Every structure is written in C-alpha cells, then in structure tokens.
Amino acid sequence: MLTVRIIVVGCGKIGENILADLANEDHNVIAIDNDPVVIGNIGNIYDVMTVCGSGTDRSVLKEARVESAELFIACTSSDEVNMLSCFIARRMGAKHTVARIRNPEYNLDNLGFLKEQLDLSRAINPDRLAAKEMYNVLKLPWAVKIQTFSVRNFEIIEINLREDSPFTGVKLMDLRNKYKAKFLICVVGRGDKVYIPDGNFVLRPGDRVGLTAEPAEIQKLMKAAGIEKKYTKNVMILGGGRIAFYLAKMLSDSGVNVKIIEIDEEKCNKLSQQLPKVVVINGNGAQQELLFEEGLASADAFVSLTGMDEENILISIFASTHNVPTVITKVNQSTMVNMASRLGLDRVISPKELMSDVLVQYARALDNTRGSNVETLYNIMDDKAVVLEFNVSAEFHGTGIPLKDLRLKPGILIAGIIRSRMAIIPTGSDCIQVNDKVIILTENRRLNDLSDILK
C-alpha cells in the first residue's frame, strides 16, 4: 500500500485526532509539539514518530526531516504560528503545507492573499467547516448528515427512522416500487452494527439509514413519503463563539431569522456589530426560563455551541424534549460524540472530526498522483463505514461487465455511478465504464484502488 510521509505540528484535540486518523490510514506520520508531556503521551498511544519542540524552530523541523515531507500540517492554537511554521517548512522542502486558520479576521480575501504569499497548499478553518455542515443540515431538516461528491449532483444522506416512519417494516425491494424516486438505501446502522443490505432487508424503527441519490430525487422521495419538514425560518443558537458567528452569518444572509444567546457581554457587543441582521441576547442559556422567554417553543431549530460538550448535550436534550423540530449539538470529545448519539441526539457535529476527514481526503489525493485513484472519502455511520469516490481508469479490469457478474469482495457495495455529470443509481445490468466516477461503500478502510473491490 502507498503511504504519504506527513508531519503534524500541534498535538492538541484537533492535532491528535488528525494524526490518529492519518496513522490509521497507514501513513508515515511524525508528530511535533513543544509540550514534553503531550508528545510523550502521543508516542505511547500512537504508532508515530515524535519530536519535542516548536514547529517554527528550524532545527526541530530538520530533526523531523521536513525536507522529505509530502504533507506538512500545522494545527497549533495560534493561526500565526501555523502560518509561519508552514512558510518555514515550505522553504525547507516540504511539498504540500496545510495551516489551520480560525480567526474570522482572516476572511476569504485575506486568506487568498496569505495562501499566495506563504505558498500554502491549503488553509482550513474547522469552525467554518462545522458551520457549513450545520447550515447544510438546517437546509434539509429531516437529514442527520449530508455528504456531497465531487460533481455536486450526487449525495449520501443519513436519516434516523422513527416509530411512525413510512419506511419501517418494509423490504428494500418494495420501497423502490412504492416510491418512484431514483434512490438506493446502501447502508443501515442498527445498534452497534452496520449492514450493507440486500433487497430482502426490512427496516426497523431506530435504524440509521444511508441513501444515495441526486438532491432532487431525495427531495422527491421525502415529499412522496410525507416526511418532508417545513423550511427552517427561525433558528436559536446557544453560545457566541466562532462557529456561531459563521453559522449565523450564513443563515441570516439566506433570509433565516437568527437569535444568539451568549453569556459574555463583550462577545455580545462584538457579534451585534458584526451581524446587524441577527438578534443577540446577553444571558445564560443554561437557564430554562430564558430559553422560553426568547422563543424556544416557536423555534424551528436549536443549535448548541457552548464550549462544554456536557452542557451542549444536556441543553440539546432539553430542547428535543420540548419538541424543537431540529436540534444540532456541537461535541468535540470522541467519547462524548458516541454518548450523545446513544442519548438520542442524532445531529451531532464535531469540528475536529470534520477537519480530520478533510485531511485524510487530502492525503488520499496525494496518493492519486502515485497510482491510487480515490477522489473523495467520507466516514459515515459514526465511523463504522466508509464511502469512497473513485475515478475509473483503463487499468480497471471490471469495465464493461454487468454489475451482477462482477465478483466483489465481501462487504462491498457499488452505491452509485457518475457518468458525464449524470448520476446513475446502479442496477445489476449497469456496467462501469472508463472515466466514470464510482461511489463505493465498504466497512474496509483499506481500499486505495478501485481494483481492490474485486476478488
């Protein structure tokens, strides 16, 4: 298997999550942090090389052999340190550099200038990523998670089935006949297990279902099934940090009424100046009376974005029990993400996991230049399954063969084919062609080439 030599500077919450995921992909990872306790723990827990020191120290970077790094990632708590570290690494020979940059003052115009001047390959803002993910969910309030593939006209949507869902108790083969939309239910999460179902699979209440289709077909399906929710018009956000700023701006710019509740008066004043179309309330959102006074009962959506995972979970549960149609919870700790899901919170978003997913995709893309052909990679079903988008080259031996005749490895499903920007929900008679993009769903993270799906 091909591997990429990667240096990660900064081993805080996000940095540790990134290096863990990259190491799990069997890449050659070197971790740098200036805290000897942190770097000692990293070395004990993960199969990575470690160097203790500053990411802006030339001698430290030299010890990490930065000149041979194919990917250099700086994700310390300081935007400026990250940019400087990437600049030095690039000058010392690192091929690709990625900096975590969170400050809203580094807006898109500034970032474009900085990327050019610092020769940055990419600048990633985990707060903006999280806000965009939340915005996408609020646009489709019946969805738990939405992933879009490279051509933007093919999606995988995760939904949770409730007791009254019209999908429950029905065989998958009968669903396709009942609803005329073109879709494929490609994966089902049930308890701690994930199933790649066949046509005889029967859905149950509580299942988490992943389906693939074009966006218009998904809307058509939900409308036909009578589970399309009303458009989100009023959103209440608890917490006035960076994610709240980005999300409120996206929502207010699209005509949604937004109210932010923030306990810090200085933050409130700043948000009021930055977001003139948003109502900003100075108060303690953990107080139930304040939430009701500010209109929780009439909100279409509630988003909990405080700095404490536990508080976000508890207040989200409170909002859910008071029948707020859509509740989104920000959680950072991996253990808390799983706990929130078990407590019935189905729209849980982790900024650090989003950033880690982007960087795993980036590392995969670097593999593409050396023989692999993965274009997009998503972890779904709470990381129990993986969706990959492959470019089909002439070297793939499965072209021109009906899918029903392809000998696939166990746990592999061809979930979609994209041909000249047209999305195809595959049947047994469809064939893969050269230059197609193919969506593969698997429980196996070790697929690097489309040929790996064949026996």
Residue 46 near residue 23 (C-beta atoms within 8 A): yes
Lowest mean pLDDT among 78-92, 226-240, 424-438: 226-240
Residue 372 pLDDT greater than 60, yes or no: no
Mean pLDDT of the chain: 88
130 occurs within a structural domain: no
Between residues 362 and 47, the one the model is more confident about? 47
The pair of three-digit structure tokens given for residue 195, joined into one six-digit string: 């199933």
Averaged pLDDT for residues 350-362: 86
Return the structure tokens found at 318. Answer: 């409170």
Comparing 68 with 452, the larger pLDDT belongs to 68
16 and 101: one domain?
yes
Whether residue 138 lies inside any domain: the answer is no
- 337 with 269, same domain: the answer is yes
Please state the rounded mean pLDDT for residues 335-352.
85
Q: Tell whether 170 is covered by a domain.
A: yes
Same-domain pairing of 256 and 293: yes
For 223, which DSSP code? H
pLDDT tier for residue 343 given thresholds of 50, 70 and 90: confident
Of 199, 225, 251, the last residue of a domain is 225
Whether 22 is covered by a domain: the verdict is: yes
Instruction: Pick from 13-17, 50-54, 419-423 the range whose average pLDDT is largest.
Output: 50-54
Give yes or no: residues 445 and 426 share one domain.
yes
CATH number at residue 298: 3.40.50.720
CB 96 within 8 A of CB 72: yes
The mean pLDDT value for 34-50 works out to 94
In a shared domain, residues 177 and 93: no
Average pLDDT over residues 236-245: 96
Looking at the domain assignment, is residue 129 inside a domain?
A: no
Q: What are phi and psi of 218, to 5 degrees?
A: -65, -45
Q: What predicted TM-score, i.e. pTM, was given to this entire model?
A: 0.80
Q: Are residues 317 and 381 in the same domain?
A: no
The DSSP secondary structure of 315-353, one letter per residue, reads HHHHHHHTT-SEEEEE--SHHHHHHHHHTT---EE-HHH
Are 11 and 120 in a shared domain?
yes
Report the pLDDT value the prediction gives residue 219, as an integer from 0 to 100.
Answer: 81
Instruction: Output the pLDDT for position 225.
Output: 79
For residue 162, what pLDDT is reported?
81
Is the pLDDT higher at 144 or at 78? 78
134 domain-assigned: no
Does residue 411 sit in the same domain as residue 448?
A: yes
Which range is least confidently modeled, 90-94, 221-225, 351-355? Answer: 221-225
CATH number of the domain encompassing residue 421: 3.30.70.1450
Number of domains the chain is built from: 4
Quote the pLDDT of residue 111: 74
Expressed as residue numbers, the domain containing 186 is: 146-225
Q: Are 347 and 241 found together in one domain?
A: yes
Query: Is the Cβ–Cβ distance between 211 and 234 less than 8 Å?
Result: no
Sheet of strand 122-124, all strands in order from the earlier edge strand to the far edge: 49-52, 28-33, 5-9, 71-74, 97-100, 122-124
Single out the residue in 74, 89, 124 at which a domain terminates: 124
CB count within 10 Å of CB 111 equals: 16
* Domain match, 160 and 101 both: no
The answer as to whether 328 is a domain residue is yes
Q: How far apart are CA 48 and CA 54, in angstroms?
A: 18
Q: How far is CA 330 from the centre of its chain?
A: 13
Q: HSE of 385 in the Cβ direction (CA atoms, 13 Å)? A: 25
Which residues on neighbouring strands pair with residue 6, listed in sequence order?
A: 29, 71
Give the residue from 171, 206, 225 where a domain finishes.
Answer: 225
Q: Is the domain of 73 the same as that of 152?
A: no
CA nearest neighbour of 334 among 16, 75, 102: 16
Q: Is residue 137 one of the residues assigned to a domain? A: no
| pLDDT at position 1 | 47
375 and 308 belong to one structural domain:
no
The answer, yes or no, to whether residue 74 has pLDDT greater than 80, is yes
